[in-house]
């Protein structure tokens, strides 16, 4: 009879788990444009279109670049987990991003090419591959489409023509500028960032070389190239190159349609980049293309934004190797990823060695708990409501991707697992299976955490070796050779092992 009840319980709990995956989750996301959380409802049910601003490829990615990549990878993963068909577009900026947001200075890629005596596309290829290499280290899924600005010059020219035809741009000596003041007469420039055009005009000084603009707030759609400029293309207006903001308006609508679900990026891109994107799309297509704007906050060092222009950045290669004056040690990709996910994506995150070290220990505790879960001895019944625990995790991620609350719940689950292992709580086999499936789904599938590849095989060998030594200790105790047994324990303790004797054997853990 007990066997029959246990089997029915197993079926019930597995059915419950499947329902969690298949049931329609009510996901709420903070929309930067409306400044409130909104229930997410895709334009086309079961399909999600998401565009995220990618890197400008003229240098190695740093810790600040990791945050949007990890944030929107988690968003991408969760949409797919909920059985949506997702088209995720993340661009590569390889032309048009000048040193100054006010359309002045050298092209960042062209400048790097000049300094390194390389072709610009050599620089682009090298740093694009470097970026992908580091993203792979973080176990970040590649986007569905990864378009480049230089590969869409024709489309950008066509969008400029539409903006000119609709009366929101003007040509001046071979360059084409967006007429912000004229646009603002019928629309609201600054609605995303909350800025007022009159204040912007008043606070913006006229820069050298910008006299061909009607207004200092106007921005370039096309720039006439100087004779020495390397990267330039033919257009109806001049030999030149597109403005930085134009590529995203062009490529997002090309691949996702004139209206799509989500546009993401760092908070530093909100103005002027994303503000200009809105204006361009409305001016060209007479419709706002983005339904919901998502922005991740910055990673700071001593309260200051991390960035190449400020010279206070730590590259991902330096983080992985520990070779930087601010680093006390090397940190694994998963430690860094866990550090980023432990803060809400809209909250600022300040770098510190102590925070990374705490993340390293926390991640090890999480892995250890999952390993313990896989070895639990089931009871006939449970003393813990697994269904409630699972729902709490869903509630956290459905509340604007609240990963710190989600991770806190996951650690609460680890406490339960350890209590069951210590005999203080009980779990039936069905609940053990449900918990295992839940941890696999949330830790590995949604958060994209994985155990370091290099450690798996070595850890298995180490585990076998320690088990063998502790079995010899058990034999010594059985033979009443307590001196040898105590010596084995003492030596393992000196090496950092914690040994716990149990009725049916032993448990051990390696403390770092």
Q: Scanning the structure block, which residue is given the tokens 């070796």?
A: 465
Residues paired with residue 102 on neighbouring β-strands, in sequence order: none
Burial class, 264, CB count within 10 angstroms (exposed 0-12 / middle 13-18 / buried 19+): buried
Report CA dihedral (209, 102, 279, 257) to the nearest 10 degrees.
110
The CB-side HSE value for 362 (13 A sphere, CA atoms) comes to 23
Over range 201-210, report the average pLDDT: 56
pLDDT of 76 over the 70 cut: yes
Helix or strand run (H / E) with residue 201: helix 197-203
- CB atoms < 10 A from the CB of 311, how many? 6
pLDDT of residue 16: 45
278: helix, strand or coil: helix
pLDDT-derived band at 10, boundaries 50, 70, 90: very low
Strand order in the sheet with 169-172: 169-172, 175-178, 219-224, 239-242, 233-234
pLDDT of 361 over the 60 cut: yes
pLDDT of residue 70: 98
Rounded distance, CA 4 to CA 255, Å? 54
Name the pTM for this structure.
Answer: 0.84
Helix or strand run (H / E) with residue 502: strand 497-502
Over range 345-349, report the average pLDDT: 97
Closest Cα partner for 356 from 369, 343, 346?
343
pLDDT of residue 452: 64
Q: Which two tokens stand for residue 430?
A: 């069905």
Lowest-confidence pick of 214-218, 220-224, 235-239, 288-292: 214-218
pLDDT of 112 over the 80 cut: yes
Residues paired with residue 222 on neighbouring β-strands, in sequence order: 176, 242
pLDDT of residue 291: 98
Rounded distance, CA 225 to CA 58, Å? 20
pLDDT in tens, 418-432: 999 999 999 999 999
Please answer whether residues 401 and 262 qualify as being in contact, where contact means their C-beta atoms are separated by less than 8 angstroms: no
Q: Is the dihedral of CA 294, 299, 304, 307 positive or negative?
A: negative
Lowest-confidence pick of 58-72, 117-131, 454-468, 493-507: 454-468
pLDDT of 25 over the 80 cut: no
Q: Where are the beta strands (DSSP E) in 271-411?
A: 290-296, 299-301, 304-305, 349-350
pLDDT of residue 13: 44
Q: What is the CA radius of gyration of the chain?
A: 28
Please answer whether residues 406 and 438 qualify as being in contact, where contact means their C-beta atoms are separated by less than 8 angstroms: no
The CB-side HSE value for 292 (13 A sphere, CA atoms) comes to 19
pLDDT in tens, 289-300: 999 999 999 998
Rounded distance, CA 269 to CA 29, Å? 19
pLDDT of 355 over the 70 cut: yes
Closest Cα partner for 329 from 359, 291, 357?
357
475: helix, strand or coil: helix
Pairing of strands 98-100, 104-107: antiparallel
Rounded distance, CA 185 to CA 187, Å? 6
> Which domains are present in the chain?
1-41+358-451 (no CATH), 43-166+182-189+245-305 (3.40.50.620), 458-510 (no CATH)
pLDDT of residue 208: 46
Beta-carbon contacts of 341 under 8 Å, excluding residues fewer than 6 positions away, are 70, 74, 403, 404, 407, 447
Q: At what angle do helices 333-341 and 403-421 cross, to 10 degrees?
A: 110
Q: Scanning the structure block, which residue is given the tokens 């051990």?
A: 508
């Amino acid at each position: 009879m007990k066997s029959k009840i246990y089997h029915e319980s197993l079926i019930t709990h597995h059915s419950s788990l499947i329902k969690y995956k298949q049931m329609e989750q009510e996901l709420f996301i903070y929309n930067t444009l409306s400044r409130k959380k909104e229930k997410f409802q895709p334009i086309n049910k079961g399909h999600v279109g998401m565009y995220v601003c990618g890197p400008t490829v003229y240098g190695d990615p740093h810790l600040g670049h990791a945050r949007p990549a990890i944030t929107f990878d988690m968003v991408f993963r969760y949409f797919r987990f909920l059985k949506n068909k997702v088209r995720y577009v993340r661009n590569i900026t390889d032309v048009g991003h000048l040193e100054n947001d006010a359309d002045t200075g050298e092209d960042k890629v062209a400048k790097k090419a000049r300094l390194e005596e390389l072709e610009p596309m050599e620089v682009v290829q090298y740093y694009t591959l470097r970026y992908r290499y580091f993203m792979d280290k973080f176990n970040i899924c590649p986007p569905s489409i990864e378009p480049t600005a230089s590969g869409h010059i024709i489309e950008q020219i066509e969008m400029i023509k539409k903006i000119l035809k609709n009366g929101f741009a003007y040509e001046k000596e071979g360059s084409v500028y967006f007429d912000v003041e004229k646009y603002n007469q019928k629309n609201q420039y600054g609605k995303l960032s909350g800025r007022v055009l009159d204040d912007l005009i008043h606070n913006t000084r006229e820069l050298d070389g910008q006299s061909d603009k009607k207004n200092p707030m106007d921005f370039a759609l096309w720039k006439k190239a100087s004779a020495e400029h390397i990267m330039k293309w033919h257009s109806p207006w001049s030999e030149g190159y597109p403005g930085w903001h134009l590529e995203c308006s062009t490529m997002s609508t090309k691949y996702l349609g004139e209206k799509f679900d989500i546009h993401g990026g760092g908070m530093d891109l909100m103005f002027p980049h994303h503000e200009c994107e809105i204006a361009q799309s409305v001016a060209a297509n007479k419709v706002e293309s983005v339904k919901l704007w998502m922005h991740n906050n910055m990673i700071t060092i001593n309260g200051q934004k991390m960035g190449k222009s400020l010279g206070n950045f730590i590259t991902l290669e330096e983080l992985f190797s520990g070779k930087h004056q601010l680093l006390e040690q090397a940190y694994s990709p998963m430690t860094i990823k866990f550090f980023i996910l432990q803060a809400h994506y809209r909250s600022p995150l300040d770098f510190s060695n102590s925070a990374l070290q705490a993340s390293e220990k926390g991640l090890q505790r999480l892995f250890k708990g999952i390993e313990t879960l896989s070895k639990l001895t089931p009871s006939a019944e449970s003393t813990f409501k697994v269904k409630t625990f699972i729902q709490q995790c869903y509630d956290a991620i459905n509340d604007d991707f609240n990963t710190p609350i989600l991770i806190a719940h996951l650690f609460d689950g680890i406490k339960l697992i350890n209590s069951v292992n210590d005999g203080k709580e009980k779990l039936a086999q069905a609940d053990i299976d449900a918990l295992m499936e839940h941890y696999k789904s949330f830790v590995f599938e949604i958060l994209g955490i994985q155990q370091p590849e290099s450690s798996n095989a070595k850890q298995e060998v180490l585990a076998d070796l320690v088990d063998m030594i502790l079995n010899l200790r058990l034999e010594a105790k059985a033979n009443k050779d307590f001196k040898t047994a105590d010596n084995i324990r003492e030596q393992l303790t000196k090496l950092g092992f914690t040994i716990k004797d149990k009725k049916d054997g032993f448990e051990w853990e390696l403390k770092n």
